[in-house]
Amino acid sequence: MLNGSRVLAVASLALLATACASTGAKPRPFPTPAGTASPIVKTQPSPIDLFAVTATAMALRGTPYRNGGSDPDGFDCSGFTQYVFARHGLALPREVRDQFAAGFAVKLEDIAPGDLLFFSTVAPGASHVGIALNGAEFVHAPSSKGVVRVERLATDYWSRRFVGARRLNVG
Q: Which of 77, 129, 153, 168 is catalytic?
A: 77
Q: Alpha-carbon distance 86 to 28, whole Å?
A: 8
Does the active-site annotation cover 88?
no
CA atoms within 13 A on the CB side of 170: 21
Q: What is the 3-state secondary structure (H, E, C) of the chain?
A: CHHHHHHHHHHHHHHHHHHHHHCCCCCCCCCCCCCCCCCCEECCCCCCCHHHHHHHHHHCCCCEECCCCEECCEECHHHHHHHHHHCCCEECCCCHHHHHCCCEEECHHHCCCCCEEEECCCCCCCCEEEEECCCCEEEECCCCCCECEEEECCCHHHHHHEEEEEECCCC
pTM: 0.75
Is the domain spanning 47-167 CATH 3.90.1720.10? The answer is yes
pLDDT digits (tens, 9 = 90+) for 93-126: 999 999 999 999 999 999 999 999 999 998 889 9
Residues pairing with 61 in the sheet: none
Is the pLDDT score of 19 beyond 90?
no
Does the active-site annotation cover 140?
yes
Mean pLDDT over all residues of the chain? 80
Is the pLDDT score of 29 beyond 70?
no
Residue 55 has a pLDDT of 97
Separation of CA 57 from chain center: 9
Q: Which of 42, 88, 128, 167 is catalytic?
A: 128
Q: What is the mean pLDDT of residues 36-43?
A: 49
Instruction: Point out the least confidently predicted range of 6-20, 90-104, 137-151.
Output: 6-20
What residues contact 92, with CB distance under 8 A and at least 6 apart? 32, 39, 40, 78, 81, 82, 85, 86, 99, 102, 168
Q: Which of 88, 140, 166, 167 is catalytic?
A: 140
Does the active-site annotation cover 128?
yes
Residue 41 has a pLDDT of 57
Domain ranges within the chain, ordered by starting residue: 47-167
pLDDT tier, 42 (very low <50, low <70, confident <90, very high otherwise):
low
